[in-house]
């Protein structure tokens, strides 16, 4: 059976890939520490509870990144001739479904808390003989959940673009947006301190809404990926300029009379097919097909396999 | 990707361009500034610790120099019913707490269930009934932090949910009393 060539990152990207893995391990450790701090200080605050859930959920992209990176580098085999690249898309789908569903649950939960006019109680704790209001500890935990996350997000964004990793990109964006969650929760707790019982639930609704929005954006993208959407750039979802390069390469071949092609994303690599109408009395067709296909594959590391098929003619609307 | 060939006009500007695009300008500075301001808002109340947190329903203000309404349900040795005012360590604790607020205690005897319902309606301020933190009513009313541990049982008082100034005042009082309580009290 013809299998895909085993995928390896080009040498210049290996350091970026290693750093991304390191940062994702750091992210996991950091998020667990935040979640633990938040859990210990949560009390009865709905905003804290929501922020805690968001924190736990933001573990999923990092964890799925690690699982996926282990799986995708496996060699294609008899059972999986196309390799394991889709694992990235599946991991991405899972994390976005989790985000979306839990966000929806929290939105309802927070809205009910607000409607029932539940007054959140925040008492005191004694730490090393000092008795302090738990609200201050909550704020401290939330601040710990903010600044390192901002830093991690900023570090991961450029790597995600380099490696063409949508999962990593979504993760970095979420880390970067985390400060809004923390700010909302802090305002909610300060609101409780001011005697505004509704502030907490209102902050929780804001946070839950943010989770749902994140979930929706990512879910949409994950579904598009699995449906073989044409390649888009990671950051702003524009058609990938690589498409233009492929078109130009095909158009520049003297032996090609007419052509058409398509590319699809398979995880973070591209697979594609081209259809060419060769000029008549072509004696080295097989050689030319192969050379041009290799030339296109060399355009960028992401084009992992490009297959050229000779056809007798292409209809008007098919030719590119 | 089946585009009509006639539409393709390569322009010099669209020639080799890096696929990694410039990131859309993010605004780290506004985020940082917002956080810094937030920090200040968070720290200001710390400086003036008095009157923070506040009660949504002003329980502490009403009790101070007024009446502390205490619901009790007999549970010896913690609360013991007598012909007059109840006795037992929890009854004494509440009396002492009322003194710190210059308030007089108004006792109200009822079943635990009825007292918790009264707490939910804010008709009593505190409930003493030898409660532990495992009581399932902890979701509906505010339990103080344990003022005493006997074996694995953590003993608490119950108060109105969300009246944080009052609860903080009560917990501060309980914390100061912890050392003074007889360690030999056994249920």
The CATH number covering residue A297 comes to 3.30.70.1350
Residue that finishes a domain, picked among A197, A226, A255: A226
Q: Scanning the structure block, which residue is given the tokens 């009822």?
A: B110
Mean pLDDT of B147-154: 87
CB atoms within 10 A of CB B44: 11
A218 and A262 in a single domain? The answer is no
* Interval A280-307: pLDDT, tens: 877 889 999 999 999 999 999 999 999 9
Q: Read off φ and ψ for residue A119, nearest 5 degrees.
A: -95, 115
pLDDT at B140: 87
Q: Quick check: is A204 in a domain?
A: yes
Peptide bond into A220 cis (omega under 30): no
Give the architecture (CATH level 2) of B59-178.
3-Layer(aba) Sandwich (3.40)
Residue that finishes a domain, picked among A168, A196, A226: A226
Question: Residue A55 and residue A32: Cα distance in Å, rounded?
Answer: 8
CB contact under 8 A, B19 and A242: yes
pTM: 0.78
Q: Quick check: is A233 in a domain?
A: no
Full residue range of the structural domain in which residue A294 is found? 242-310
Question: Residue B18 and residue A180: Cα distance in Å, rounded?
Answer: 32
Using an 8 Å CB-CB cutoff, list chain A residues near B164: 121-123, 133, 135, 192-193, 195
| Strand order through the sheet with A269-278 | A256-266, A269-278, A303-310
Mean pLDDT of A60-77: 87
Give the up-direction half-sphere exposure of residue A15: CA atoms within 13 A in the CB hemisphere: 2
The neighbouring-strand residues paired with A273 are A262, A307
Q: Quick check: is A302 in a domain?
A: yes
Measuring CA to CA, how many Å separate B55 from each of A112, A247, B11, B94? Answer: 22, 69, 68, 20
* Interval A199-256: pLDDT, tens: 999 999 999 998 898 889 889 888 988 898 888 888 777 888 999 999 999 999 999 9
A193 and A304 in a single domain? The answer is no
A34 and A110 in a single domain? The answer is yes
Mean pLDDT of B11-27: 43
The pLDDT-based confidence of B26 (bands split at 50, 70, 90) is very low
Burial of B115 (0-12, 13-18, 19+ CB in 10 A): buried
Q: Quick check: is A34 in a domain?
A: yes
* Interval A170-189: pLDDT, tens: 888 888 878 888 889 999 99
CB atoms within 10 A of CB A314: 18
Between CA A218 and CA A228, with CA A223 as vertex, the angle to 5 degrees is 125
Report domain extents, chain B. Answer: 59-178
**Maximum C-alpha span of chain B:** 103
Is A98 a residue whose pLDDT tops 90? no
Q: Quick check: is A234 in a domain?
A: no
The pLDDT-based confidence of A268 (bands split at 50, 70, 90) is confident
Taking CB atoms within 8 Å and a gap of at least 24, the contacts of A77-84 are: A77/A3, A78/A1, A78/A3, A81/A1, A81/A2, A81/A3, A81/A4, A82/A3, A82/A4, A82/A266, A82/A271, A83/A3, A83/A4, A83/A6, A83/A7, A83/A266
ipTM, 2 dp: 0.73
Chain B touched by A273 (CB under 8 Å): no
Partner residue facing A260 (CB), from B2, B45, B165: B2
Between CA A69 and CA A150, with CA A239 as vertex, the angle to 5 degrees is 50
Q: Quick check: is A165 in a domain?
A: yes
* Least confident range of A117-121, B37-41, B65-69: B37-41
Q: Please answer whether residues A220 and A232 qualify as being in contact, where contact means their C-beta atoms are separated by less than 8 angstroms.
A: no
Nearest alpha-carbon partner for A270 in A249, A299, A290: A299
Question: Residue B183 and residue B105: Cα distance in Å, rounded?
Answer: 26
Residue that finishes a domain, picked among A181, A196, A226: A226
Q: Quick check: is A118 in a domain?
A: yes
Could you tell me the CATH number of the domain that includes residue A182?
1.20.1510.10
* Sign of the Cα pseudo-torsion (B64, B70, B75, B76, in order): positive
B58 to chain A nearest CA, in Å? 9
Q: Quick check: is A236 in a domain?
A: no
Using an 8 Å CB-CB cutoff, list chain A residues near B37: none
């Amino acid at each position: 059976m013809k299998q895909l060539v085993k995928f390896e990152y080009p040498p210049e990207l290996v350091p970026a890939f290693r750093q991304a893995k390191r940062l994702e391990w750091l992210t996991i450790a950091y998020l667990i520490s935040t979640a633990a701090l938040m859990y210990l200080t949560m009390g009865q605050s709905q905003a804290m509870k929501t922020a805690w859930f968001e924190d736990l959920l933001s573990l999923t992209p990092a964890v799925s990144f690690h699982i996926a990176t282990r799986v995708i580098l496996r060699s294609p085999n008899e059972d999986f001739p196309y390799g394991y690249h889709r694992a990235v898309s599946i991991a991405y789908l899972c994390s976005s479904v989790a985000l979306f569903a839990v966000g929806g649950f929290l939105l309802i939960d927070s809205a009910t808390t607000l409607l029932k006019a539940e007054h959140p109680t925040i008492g005191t704790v004694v730490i090393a003989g000092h008795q302090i209001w738990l609200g201050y500890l909550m704020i401290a935990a939330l601040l710990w959940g903010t600044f390192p996350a901002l830093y991690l997000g900023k570090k991961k964004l450029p790597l995600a673009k380099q490696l063409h990793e949508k999962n990593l990109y979504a993760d970095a964006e979420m880390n970067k947006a985390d400060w809004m969650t923390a700010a909302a929760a802090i305002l909610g707790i300060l609101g409780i301190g001011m005697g505004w019982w509704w502030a907490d639930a209102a902050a929780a609704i804001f946070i839950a809404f943010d989770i749902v929005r994140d979930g929706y954006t990512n879910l949409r993208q994950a579904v598009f990926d699995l449906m073989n959407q044409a390649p888009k750039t990671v950051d702003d979802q524009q058609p990938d300029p690589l498409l233009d390069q492929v078109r130009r390469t095909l158009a520049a071949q003297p032996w090609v009379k007419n052509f058409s092609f398509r590319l699809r994303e398979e995880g973070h690599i591209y697979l594609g097919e081209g259809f060419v109408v060769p000029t008549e009395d072509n004696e080295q067709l097989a050689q030319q097909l192969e050379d041009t296909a290799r030339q296109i594959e060399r355009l960028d590391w992401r084009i992992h396999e490009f297959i050229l098929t000779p056809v007798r003619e292409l209809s008007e609307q098919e030719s590119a | 990707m089946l585009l009509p060939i006639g539409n393709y006009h390569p322009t010099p500007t669209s020639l080799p361009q890096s696929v990694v695009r410039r990131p859309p300008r993010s605004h780290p500075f506004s985020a940082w500034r917002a956080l810094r301001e937030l920090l200040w808002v968070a720290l200001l109340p710390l400086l003036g610790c008095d009157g923070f947190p506040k009660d949504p329903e002003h329980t502490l203000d009403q009790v101070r120099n007024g009446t502390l309404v205490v619901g009790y349900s007999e549970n010896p040795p913690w609360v013991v019913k007598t012909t007059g005012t109840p006795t037992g360590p929890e009854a004494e604790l509440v009396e002492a707490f009322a003194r710190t607020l210059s308030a007089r205690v108004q006792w109200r005897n009822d079943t635990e269930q009825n007292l918790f319902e009264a707490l939910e309606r804010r008709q009593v301020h505190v409930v003493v009934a030898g409660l532990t933190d495992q009581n399932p009513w902890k979701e509906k009313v505010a339990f103080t932090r344990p003022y005493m541990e006997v074996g694995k049982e953590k003993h608490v008082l119950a108060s109105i949910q969300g009246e944080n100034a009052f609860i903080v005042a009560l917990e501060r009082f309980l914390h100061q009393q912890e050392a003074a309580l007889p360690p030999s009290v056994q249920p």
